[in-house]
């Protein structure tokens, strides 16, 4: 999940108005340019989620609560995004977070 959110950071902060970003987010160059600052903000938030997950992992067995918190944040953000922006977010973000939580709590 941390790697996935670093990828989101890169896409939203640096590739939003580039060909790969336009293709992934199904936007025109004009749409991407008008929303570039908003996308960079979203990318920054995704970076914080990645940092929290890496922090939790770095704590080893003591990081259970930190990982739980950040995976719940990712899950909630994914569910919100799936209902408000694109159903694909359910599969790309929410489902992996839910699987991560299950694996974390039921190894």
Looking at residue 54, what is its pLDDT? Answer: 98
* Domain membership of residue 86 as a residue range: 2-105
- The domain total for the chain is 1
Entry pTM: 0.90
Could you read off the pLDDT of 52-81 as tens digits, one per residue? Answer: 999 999 999 999 999 999 999 999 999 999
pLDDT at 100 over 90: yes
Could you read off the pLDDT of 12-59 as tens digits, one per residue? Answer: 999 999 999 999 999 999 999 999 999 999 999 999 999 999 999 999
| C-alpha–C-alpha distance, residues 65 and 101, integer Å | 11
| C-alpha–C-alpha distance, residues 100 and 46, integer Å | 17
């Amino acid at each position: 999940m941390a790697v996935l959110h670093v990828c989101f950071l890169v896409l939203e902060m640096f590739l939003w108005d580039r060909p790969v970003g336009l293709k992934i987010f199904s936007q025109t160059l004009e749409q991407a340019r008008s929303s570039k600052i908003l996308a960079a903000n979203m990318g920054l938030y995704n970076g914080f989620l990645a940092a929290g997950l890496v922090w939790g992992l770095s704590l080893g067995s003591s990081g259970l609560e930190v990982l739980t918190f950040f995976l719940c944040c990712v899950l909630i953000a994914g569910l919100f995004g799936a209902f408000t922006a694109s159903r694909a977010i359910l599969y790309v973000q929410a489902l992996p977070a839910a699987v991560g939580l299950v694996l974390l709590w039921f190894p």
